[in-house]
Chain A
Amino acid sequence: MYVRLRSAASLLRSVLLRLCGLVLTLLAVSAAIFLVIDVLPGDVASVMLGTSAREDTLAALREQLGLDRPAHLRYLAWIGGLLTGDLGQSVTYSSPVATLIAERLAVTAPLAAMSLALVVLIALPLGVAAAASQDGPVDRLIGLFGQIGVAVPNFWIGLLLILAFATGLGWLPAGGFPGWGAGIGAGLRSLVLPAVALALPQAAVLTRIVRTATLDVIGQDFVRTARAKGVPGTVALTRHVVPNALVPIVTILGLQLSFLVAGAVLVENVFNLPGLGRLAYQALAQRDLVVIRSVVLLLAGLVIAVNAAIDLLTLAVDPRLRRSR
């Protein structure tokens, strides 16, 4: 009883510590983003007013946008706004940044979810199958898939998919997004190819991890015992092996989220999807700093937070980690 209480207390302590660390990290990241963006050459006033604009016109717009205030005040205003949920107004889109992000998330979030699901659906069976037939022909074939998968850039997969399924067979749209207003089906159809392009390389990575993790667990005593007791191979795999291999797999999946998010910028460009990545890309081109900083912070923060959550999850699952970390 006493031991359990203490371990609960220590769990709480490490949770709190990590949360503090998370907040500090996010603050540091926000400062870094602000600094980098602030030194970018070019200003949004010139972009908006074009080449005929006179200097006094530019100055008027800068003043209107509050760009003439010192940097630290603008940073504080941003952070203050973040805490109250007001991300400011996009200059180029004439719309609240929060609304813009929400609209773009409606594309990027389903895209990331679809590709994450695809990653798991491809990698889990392949990885387990490879482990089950260790060094056999199936393992070799899956190994080859893994090798090729990690070597192929996702935007090229995107191009090939367009060649095959859009311009070739004409089954799926080559790009663009009809909007959810056009129906769930139409929306999902235009996300299929990008999701596959995003998922394949990551599935290849995860397949290898799943295989290794499965092999690790298979080698452990309790599985051998189960097998010795006459539990059939597949049952042993699904009942004992896979659940125990989940911790390393989930950890890698968390990391993969960062690759999916980063990859989304490229793939959204290939498929011309109005997602977060494209928003950041376009806002950067137009020096709409108010938009870029919040989008980049959101993307980075998402990855950091997910990794922290997975950290905590493994901590809860595996108490041994608490001391060693």
Chain B
Amino acid sequence: MLTRLSLAAALLLALPLSAQAAPKTTLAIGMGVEPTGLDPTIAAPVAIREVTWANLFEGLVKLDSSGRVGPLLAKTWEVSADGLVYTFRLQEGVKFHDGTPMTSADVKFSLDRARAPTSTNAQKQIFAPIDAVETPDASTAVVKLKQPSGNFLYFLSWGDAAIVCQKTAETNRATPVGTGPFRFKSWARGDRVELVRSPDYWGAKPALESVTFRFITDPQAQVAALKAGDIDAFPNIGAPELFADLKTDRRFTAVAGNTEGEIVAGMNNAKKPFDDVRVRRALMQAVDRKALVDGAYSGFGQPIGSHFSPNHPAFVDLTSVLPYDPAKAKALLKEAGYGSGLSITIKSPQMAYASRSAELLSAMLAEVGVELKIVPTEFPAKWIEEVFKAKDYDMTIVAHAEPLDIDIYGREGYYFNYRSEPFRALVAEAARTPDEAARFETYRKAQRLLAEDVPALFLFQLPKLGVWNAKLKGLWESTPIPSNDVTGVSWSE
């Protein structure tokens, strides 16, 4: 009797709950670019990570929204005093989506595959320090390094270091199998990728049952799809000019965060007149970054004075080192022997942010007597051949989307043709410093050095213009690495 009563009471209590519509458990996310394949370990495009990373694939460690490393597939780890041995204790009971248990053998396989001679991993250099991976038991993986690598753990949080299953690694590009809370359902090319919640996920169950990533290139269509409710969220909408409108629309949450992309106008430092630091500084001071952001990106986007993402804990704002000052720019040019003018070309990719910035740069440099001719250069194919590989250019402009890539200015043969031994020493030091505070301090020094030396014109951080339904919670405003992590997303009500 009592039980029956309580059952009835429970039913009565439950009634209003069920009458109230249960919160939605599906999510449609819009993206501007479709991924090329779905395996982040064999190709570079950011879109691959934006679909799969943290959702479908997981790594040993994970970054939180402030860019700090935390545990994921590795429960805990120890680093030897000399920084050469990393011992990872793995989570128990982790299964790949095909049912195979994840063990230390998979960790070894994944890391060995990424650094093999035949590997096509886009960030192969992050695995280069690895000497050997050992598997004392199924839940322990020991990674031995040849030399200390200060960012090694951080690198393991990138999609390129996803832990994959030996059986399915080769087919991951089209039918990915990972350990994440969502598993692959379908991919209608040119249109969408669908993921569904994995029933036997090892960790906390996400609130969403399914996630659909839809690919809509045209910004007008993106906004239309949002307003029509076909898309619930655009983590990064393509048109800053439409973003201002959306900010005033109460149906949506609109947040301008930062991507990892620094928009810089690279200069050929080995070529006259860019081999003269006075010329580079003059060009930098001829640029009104604020006006550039207004014209090229409708005012969204944080001006930068060096090459470092504001998402990173070691970021310093250095825009005041070489501020906008046309008179100073002219004086510097005169001092360098170009008082009567200078004519240079800029190879500009077709993406709106780049071509618009190039046109604005051309107008701004004209004010200080520099003629900047624009040569549209198809990105990526032609740009990589001409600018990146052949270094046949004066100036160019592109967003460097990879996280923590300040070391590119120290790479031998990188397209800037920039050689600075002090800078190279700094990045090398950072790379081998396991102590975080010391490493971050070195990065700050490196940023300052670049800001003074301007091997490239530092323009602005490509913003992440996120727009989503106001009832959605848990989307990331900024992401310290390319990813659209939806594991913590839920609908209110």
Q: Given A93-B189, A286-B36: A43 and B230 within 8 A (CB)?
A: no
Q: In the complex, which range does the number of interface residues on chain B fall in?
A: 35 or more
- For residue A52, CB closer than 8 A to chain B, the reply is yes
Q: Given A176-B221, A272-B216: A52 and B37 within 8 A (CB)?
A: no
Q: Which residues of B contact A274 (CB under 8 A)?
A: 189-191
- For residue B323, CB closer than 8 A to chain A, the reply is no
Residues 96-139 of B contacting A (Cβ, < 8 Å):
117-125
Q: List 16 A-B contacts (CB under 8 A).
A: A42-B378, A42-B384, A46-B381, A48-B45, A50-B380, A52-B44, A52-B125, A60-B119, A94-B173, A174-B221, A175-B216, A175-B221, A176-B225, A177-B191, A272-B221, A286-B381
A49 contacts B44, CB within 8 Å? yes
Q: Which residues of A contact B119 (CB under 8 A)?
A: 57, 60
- Selected from B174, B192, B224, B408, the residue in CB contact (under 8 A) with A94 is B174
Q: How far is the CB of A182 from chain B (nearest CB, A)?
A: 9
- For residue A117, CB closer than 8 A to chain B, the reply is no
Cα-based distance from A178 to B191 in the complex (angstroms): 8
Cα-based distance from A173 to B221 in the complex (angstroms): 8
- Selected from A49, A56, A177, A181, the residue in CB contact (under 8 A) with B43 is A49
List 17 additional contacts besides A50-B44, A286-B380; criterion CB under 8 Å: A41-B381, A41-B382, A41-B385, A43-B385, A46-B385, A48-B120, A49-B120, A50-B43, A52-B405, A53-B122, A60-B119, A94-B38, A94-B173, A173-B221, A175-B216, A176-B216, A285-B381
Cα-based distance from A42 to B388 in the complex (angstroms): 11
Q: Which residues of B contact A92 (CB under 8 A)?
A: 36-37
Q: Which residues of B contact A167 (CB under 8 A)?
A: 220, 224
Q: Which residues of B contact A181 (CB under 8 A)?
A: 188
- For residue A104, CB closer than 8 A to chain B, the reply is yes
Q: Given A57-B124, A61-B120: A103 and B190 within 8 A (CB)?
A: yes
Q: Which residues of B contact A271 (CB under 8 A)?
A: 218, 221
- For residue B66, CB closer than 8 A to chain A, the reply is no
Cα-based distance from A21 to B118 in the complex (angstroms): 46
A95 contacts B385, CB within 8 Å? no
Residues 1-55 of A contacting B (Cβ, < 8 Å):
40-43, 46-54
Cα-based distance from A102 to B164 in the complex (angstroms): 31
Q: How far is the CB of B393 from chain A (nearest CB, A)?
A: 14
Interface string of B207-228 (1 = CB under 8 A from A): 0000000001110110011001
Cα-based distance from A6 to B207 in the complex (angstroms): 78
- Selected from B43, B191, B378, the residue in CB contact (under 8 A) with A48 is B43
- For residue B402, CB closer than 8 A to chain A, the reply is yes
Residues 90-108 of A contacting B (Cβ, < 8 Å):
91-95, 99-100, 103-104
Q: Which residues of A contact B44 (CB under 8 A)?
A: 48-53
A53 contacts B124, CB within 8 Å? yes
A95 contacts B174, CB within 8 Å? yes
Q: Which residues of A contact B192 (CB under 8 A)?
A: 179
Q: Top 4 A-B pairs ranked by shortest CB distance?
A: A50-B44, A42-B381, A274-B190, A92-B36
Q: Which residues of A contact B218 (CB under 8 A)?
A: 174-176, 271-272
Interface string of A168-192 (1 = CB under 8 A from B): 0000011111110100000000000
Residues 138-197 of A contacting B (Cβ, < 8 Å):
162, 166-167, 173-179, 181
Interface string of B366-401 (1 = CB under 8 A from A): 000000000000101110111011000000000010
Q: Which residues of B contact A178 (CB under 8 A)?
A: 230
Q: Which of A51, A54, A271 has the most CB of B within 10 A?
A: A51
Q: In the complex, which range does the number of interface residues on chain A fall in?
A: 35 or more
- Selected from A41, A100, A166, A176, the residue in CB contact (under 8 A) with B189 is A100
Interface string of A48-87 (1 = CB under 8 A from B): 1111111011001100100000000000000000000000
Q: Which residues of A contact B225 (CB under 8 A)?
A: 176
Cα-based distance from A177 to B230 in the complex (angstroms): 11
Q: Given A93-B189, A179-B191, A272-B217: A174 and B224 within 8 A (CB)?
A: yes
Cα-based distance from A167 to B382 in the complex (angstroms): 36
Q: Which residues of A contact B191 (CB under 8 A)?
A: 177, 179, 274
- For residue A278, CB closer than 8 A to chain B, the reply is yes
Cα-based distance from A18 to B216 in the complex (angstroms): 44
Q: How far is the CB of A41 from chain B (nearest CB, A)?
A: 5
A51 contacts B388, CB within 8 Å? yes
Q: How far is the CB of A232 from chain B (nearest CB, A)?
A: 51
- Selected from B38, B125, B382, B405, the residue in CB contact (under 8 A) with A42 is B382
Interface string of A270-310 (1 = CB under 8 A from B): 01101000110000011100000000000000000000000
Q: How far is the CB of A111 from chain B (nearest CB, A)?
A: 14
Q: Which residues of A contact B380 (CB under 8 A)?
A: 42, 46-47, 50, 285-286
A94 contacts B37, CB within 8 Å? yes
Cα-based distance from A94 to B388 in the complex (angstroms): 26
B381 contacts A162, CB within 8 Å? no
Q: How far is the CB of B474 from chain A (nearest CB, A)?
A: 26
Closest to B116 in A: A60
Q: How far is the CB of B396 from chain A (nearest CB, A)?
A: 12
Cα-based distance from A176 to B228 in the complex (angstroms): 12
B220 contacts A174, CB within 8 Å? yes
Cα-based distance from A91 to B36 in the complex (angstroms): 8
Cα-based distance from A278 to B215 in the complex (angstroms): 13
Cα-based distance from A46 to B405 in the complex (angstroms): 18
Closest to B173 in A: A94
Q: Which residues of B contact A40 (CB under 8 A)?
A: 381
Residues 42-69 of B contacting A (Cβ, < 8 Å):
42-45
A47 contacts B381, CB within 8 Å? yes
Q: How far is the CB of B162 from chain A (nearest CB, A)?
A: 16
Cα-based distance from A135 to B336 in the complex (angstroms): 74
Q: How far is the CB of A148 from chain B (nearest CB, A)?
A: 26
Residues 163-205 of B contacting A (Cβ, < 8 Å):
173-174, 188-192
Interface string of B305-342 (1 = CB under 8 A from A): 00000000000000000000000000000000000000
A64 contacts B120, CB within 8 Å? yes
Q: Which residues of B contact A42 (CB under 8 A)?
A: 378, 380-382, 384-385
Q: How far is the CB of A272 from chain B (nearest CB, A)?
A: 4
Cα-based distance from A64 to B378 in the complex (angstroms): 25
Q: Which residues of B contact A54 (CB under 8 A)?
A: 124-125
A52 contacts B224, CB within 8 Å? no
Q: How far is the CB of B56 from chain A (nearest CB, A)?
A: 15
B384 contacts A52, CB within 8 Å? no
- Selected from B121, B173, B190, B220, the residue in CB contact (under 8 A) with A162 is B220
Closest to B120 in A: A61
Cα-based distance from A169 to B148 in the complex (angstroms): 63
Q: Which residues of A contact B408 (CB under 8 A)?
A: 51
Q: Which residues of B contact A272 (CB under 8 A)?
A: 216-218, 221
Cα-based distance from A27 to B37 in the complex (angstroms): 32
